[in-house]
Chain A
Amino acid sequence: MSSKCLFNKCLNKRSFSKRLSISVIGIVTSIFIVTLFVVGITSARIIEDEATRSTQYMLHGTISDIERPLNELEVQTSTVAAHVGLQIKDINTLDIISQNTVKMSEIIDGLAIIIPGATPSDEYIVYNYRDSEGEIHTRRQKGVGMMQSEWLQAIAKGRKPLWTAPYYAEHRGGGQEIPRVTTYGFPVFDKDSNLLAIVTSDLTIKWIEEKMASIRPYENSLASISCSEDVVIGIDDSIQLAQIRKAFAESEELRELSDDMRKGKDSIRRRIGKGRDMFFVAYGPLHNGWMLSISCYYRDVLKSVSIMNRILLILGLLEILLVFFSCRRIISKMTRPITTLSDAALNMAKGNFNADIPEIRSQDEMKNLRDSFVYMQNSIVDYIEELKTTTRANERMESELNVARNIQMGMLRSDFSQRLHALLVPAKEVGGDIYDFVIKDNTLYFAIGDVSGKGVPASLMMAITRAALRFVVGLNLPMDQTLERINKGVTDSNSNEMFVTLFVGRIDMVTGHMEYCNAGHNPIIVIPPDGEPYFLKAKPNIAVGVFLDFHYQSETLDLRPGTRIIAYTDGVNEAERSDGSQYGNERLLEWATQPTNRSLATSDKEVVEKLYDSVKEFADGNPQNDDITIMSITI
């Protein structure tokens, strides 16, 4: 039950579908992030290029738009100047020229002819201008000292026309709105290059200001014309102007930019400033030295990119979610057979071997798995049936063997005397070892034997041998004849070439005289009371059951009182350890040499048990592979 819980827990914790889905999501997300990054960067580049190109295009258009009226004004002014040069003596004519020009020209809305005198007080000015309602006003002034102004001085000295920076035409006076104008001054010289007059034409720049305000390629874009150090068209907020100046003073790249502008270069500069305030600026000069610039913040230019990226991001997240859920769904649907089969396996583990295994319709690996599973289930069911049958048979055989064992053990005497003890431990339920003894008056008959092989066949031979032994010993014959009779009995009943090694002996317990005959059995150990133990050599008689008419030869030995003899079967000296080494004769003799084992204070029962323990200790848990029999007799 607990193993099932554990299994289910594991299943829920990191299901196959979940793990696979997470992997897929990981890959999709990585690809998406890389794509987003590349698309973002590339589109930003493309849009930046496009924006700068279109801004430059706009700049050039604007420059030519502004220059057209300026050129027109310059041409008209130079024409007026030519007339002024011819009519310089005639003040009235000059006045008319001035008036007519202002009346006729659509561009010039104020025209002054300044005739410098020898002294400032001789200076004469005729000035006509058109107010906002189109009415012409004329002013004639003398000795104003206007020629002292820096601009007119520059024209006079430079001997060439000049534009002023825009200014408010306050000198016109009147209650009307004061227009902001720029004025073009054109010098008039006589044949000897003496300054005769300076003709100045006013141009209202309201339209330029409007134009500047209208140039907005992007939100927050700024278009302006810087006309001199202090005068800028397009930025009328003095605080903003101060900030721009400050920025120009502090930034290296802006200083370079301002140098470029002063030198009249036509160019574009990208990525000025940092972060949100980063901008690019396109700039170009007008022929009169003014500089038009259009600057745009990247945050406005790339607004479309960031919107696009945001949309992509949202779409991507939705896509990832969709992939995740559909992946889980598809995979869990595809792997459902695994879950079903694992449930069936758990069901089988509980012992329900006939549990139904659901059909799988798809013709794929899952189907193969299911088929293999069904095959396994059938095999297990068959195997269990087979096992049950075998087990029943084994159980029956085992119980029969137990009965056989009891019968066999019943054949062995266990009414030992003080001077004799024996132990028989079969390797299997029944065995082929045998021992027996009979005491008649003062004579002890004893026998120990070993049937070739073990188990049931050996036990049957053992029973035959034991029956023959009991019968023949009753005849009270010499040992050689005893063995010959037993041999006949056993050989008659032996159609299977089995044989029995058998040692028989007869001891007169008063005199210690022993007559014995060894039919191929292990030599017994003789432990004299005051000498070293030894293996009793015997004439090489053949084992019982081999040849019907074999003549056995017996021998005799006189045993002094206190002598102990130990008979055993090869289960003792051939007992094996797991490394294959055997207990062996040497170890056996050494064991017999130990004082406690030969001491008469140690009973025969104890001696038998000690030898058995010694063998077991040597085997060190290695299973006993032959029957073990030990017999000890003390004279």
Chain B
Amino acid sequence: MNVNISNQEGKTIVRLDGRLDTSNVEQFQQDIAPLMQGEKPNIEIDCTGMTYTSSQGLRMFLMMQKSVMSRGGKMVMIHMNPQVKEVFDITGFSNIIAIL
């Protein structure tokens, strides 16, 4: 899993590439640590390159969502491929995370 974080016009763009599974979930947690601080974050997660997420990966997105909400910000996930979207749907996560 490759994580690329950039800032554009006050928006934080997170580009994800590859699989998010047990082997790299810890690294991913470190990679997204900068997103867990700051007031009123505006985060857009581009999932174009993300091919798979395990339930531990889902937990990461849940943590981000909760963290963003507690700081009065917002987070959207975009360009999610259908297989990954299905996991979000089944677990009900698409109810609480904005997926465009």
A residues with a Cβ closer than 8 A to B are: 450-454, 497-499, 501, 519-523, 540-543, 546-547, 570, 574, 625-626
Contact = CB atoms under 8 A, between A and B. Distances in A.
A523 B59 contact: no
B93 A520 contact: yes
A540 B55 contact: no
Contact of B90 (A498, A522, A547): A522
Given A450-B55, A452-B56, A453-B55, A543 B63 contact: no
Contacts of B94: 540
Contacts of B21: 625
A546 B96 contact: yes
Contacts of A498: 59
Contacts of B96: 542, 546-547
A543 B91 CA distance: 5
Contacts of B59: 452-453, 497-499
B29 to A, nearest CB: 11
Contacts of A452: 55-56, 58-59
A501 B91 contact: yes
B98 interface: no
B92 interface: yes
Interface string B40-69: 000000000000001110110011001000
Contacts of A523: 90
12 contacts: A452-B56, A453-B55, A497-B63, A497-B66, A499-B55, A499-B59, A499-B62, A520-B90, A520-B93, A521-B90, A546-B96, A625-B21
Nearest to A454: B22
Contact of A625 (B22, B58, B89, B91): B22
Given A540-B90, A546-B93, 7 more contacts: A497-B63, A499-B91, A501-B91, A521-B90, A542-B91, A542-B92, A546-B62
Contacts of A547: 96
B56 A453 contact: yes
Q: Which secondary structure dominates chain A's binding surface?
A: loop
Interface of B: 21-22, 54-56, 58-59, 62-63, 66, 89-96
A543 B22 contact: no
- Nearest 8 pairs of A and B residues by beta carbon: A542-B92, A520-B91, A452-B55, A520-B92, A452-B59, A497-B63, A453-B56, A543-B91
A520 B92 CA distance: 5
Contacts of A454: 22
B90 A519 contact: no
B92 A519 contact: yes
Contacts of A543: 91-93
A543 B58 CA distance: 11
Contacts of B58: 452, 499
A454 to B, nearest CB: 7
Contacts of B22: 453-454, 625-626
A526 to B, nearest CB: 16
A625 B93 CA distance: 23
- Interface hub of B66, B89, B92, B93 (most chain A Cβ within 10 A): B92
A595 B62 CA distance: 41
Contacts of A451: 55
Contacts of B93: 520, 542-543, 546
Contact of B95 (A450, A542, A574, A626): A542
Nearest to B25: A453
Contacts of A522: 90
A454 B25 CA distance: 12
A540 B92 contact: yes
A540 B22 CA distance: 25
A486 to B, nearest CB: 14
A542 B58 CA distance: 12
A450 B54 CA distance: 12
Nearest to B56: A453
A547 B62 CA distance: 10
A570 B53 CA distance: 12
Nearest to B19: A580
A352 B63 CA distance: 53
A509 B54 CA distance: 35
A570 B92 CA distance: 15
Nearest to A520: B91
B75 to A, nearest CB: 15
A501 B54 CA distance: 13
B66 A540 contact: no
A625 B25 CA distance: 14
A521 B55 CA distance: 11
B85 to A, nearest CB: 12
Contacts of A542: 91-93, 95-96
A501 B59 CA distance: 12
A540 B54 contact: no
Contacts of B95: 540, 542
Contacts of B56: 452-453
A547 B63 CA distance: 12
Contacts of A625: 21-22
Nearest to A497: B63
A541 to B, nearest CB: 5
